[in-house]
Amino acid sequence: MAIFCYKTKDGEIEERSYSIGKAPRFVMVGSKPARRCLAAEIGSIAMPSLKGWPFTCCASGVHASQAPDLRKHLADAGIPTEVTDDGDPVYRSAAHRRQALRARGIHDKASFC
């Protein structure tokens, strides 16, 4: 059994449990018709937003003692970036992430930079 979400035109969301492949596209929530809502389903299982920004990246982080140096380096490169006290940069967008990684000489095949 899986949880499926249905949304009325009023914005009311109701969760229902069905077997995989058996969930209807439309249901009645009280007396109102409701359509299956994938966005609500994604949110209901505590997944991050599809865009995922801002994004705190521990993989491109530095040791906590080097956090001020990383902030200064990125600011001097013209890419001001928030860096957590743990040394993890917080990227605002994919473009911001690409610029910051490029400024540090880091190549990430997954980001196509």
Supply the pTM of this predicted model: 0.53
Q: Between 67 and 39, name the one with better pLDDT.
A: 67
Confirm if 34 and 26 have CB atoms less than 8 A apart.
Answer: yes
Categorize the per-residue pLDDT at 46 as very low, low, confident or very high, splitting at 50, 70 and 90: very low
Question: What are the backbone angles phi and psi of residue 54, rounded to the nearest 5°?
Answer: -70, 155
- Residues β-bridged to residue 26: 35
Question: Per-residue DSSP letters for 20-51?
Answer: TT---SEEEETTEEEEE-HHHHHHHTTPPPSS
Q: What is the pLDDT of residues 49-82, one digit of tens each?
A: 456 778 899 989 999 999 999 999 999 999 999 9
Who's near 62: CB < 8 A, 6+ residues apart?
Answer: 69, 70, 83, 87
